[in-house]
Amino acid sequence: MDVQATEKRGVAVSRKVGPIILLGSPGAGKGTQAKRIAERFAIPQVSSGDILRENVARGTELGRKAKEIMARGELVPDDLVNVMVGERLREEDCGRGFILDGFPRTPVQAAWLDRFLEGKFFENQEACGPPIVIQIDVDYNKLVERLTGRRSCPTCGRIYNIHTQPPRVDELCDCDGSPLVMRNDDRREVLAERLKAYELQTRPLVEYYRKLGRLVDVNGDLEPDEVTAQIAAAIQSFGGHVKDSTWT
Ligand code: AMP
């Protein structure tokens, strides 16, 4: 990474940011916020949903196994997802820390991640340690509006919402003009299943991390800039963002 260039752009560069987890229902804004935090702290966004979609698009063995499950709005089995995320976190760019978006999503995944971050099978000491967990909470009706209105650019990945953040020209990306796409699993029929999976399998993780003293609640009904500011402040309060002159 070009640290000087990063500092010139005003991005906070610290020796260590550590693991950050974004928890929140589908539509809570995890993807949007994860991208902003990744940029601000110069760490990668690790989105299990994005990696799975890439595998589906490339037709890998994992993609073939996950495709139908994702189309139904159900969760992909823990062992497949854990291996996939573990491979990604061992990559060099995760060295100072990373922001997990969409993982962990079940108690089994959270227990696996705990052991991973304790360094049992993760040699990268810089990025090890207890995670900072941010829960983004959003009103149910807003979630449905966001998900049914969500569109993304298949070329650059930018996310829009036809109700609240429309592109300048209908259905075309502002950055590169590509026709925007709607995710298959954002259709109303599948949505109900995804929201149910969140309540049953992921919601219990909120209390799990709260008990460990690692959880910060953020109100996701606020404007996106305000949500980003609150998340950044939470990361700083856990010491994940100290501009460090010893950086080499
Ligand atoms: P997302 O983009 O995070 O909403 O994920 C889209 C879909 O990918 C989910 O509805 C699941 O089918 C699958 N998925 C993503 N992350 C996980 C995970 N951590 N565990 C199991 N399935 C996942």
- Digit-coded pLDDT (tens) for 22-36: 999 999 999 999 999
Decide: 78 and 112 in contact? Cβ < 8 Å: yes
pTM: 0.84
Q: Is the CB of 185 under 6 A from ligand 1?
A: yes
pLDDT confidence of 200, banded at 50, 70, 90? very high
Higher per-residue confidence, 243 vs 234: 234
Work out the average pLDDT over 218-225: 94
* Active-site residue set: 30, 105, 150, 183, 194
Percent of the chain with pLDDT over 70: 87
pLDDT confidence of 102, banded at 50, 70, 90? very high
Q: Is residue 244 predicted with pLDDT exceeding 50?
A: no
Domains of the chain (ranges; CATH) run 3-7+14-247 (3.40.50.300)
- Measured in Å, residue 53 CA sits from the centre of ligand 1 at 9
Q: Is the CB of 40 under 6 A from ligand 1?
A: no
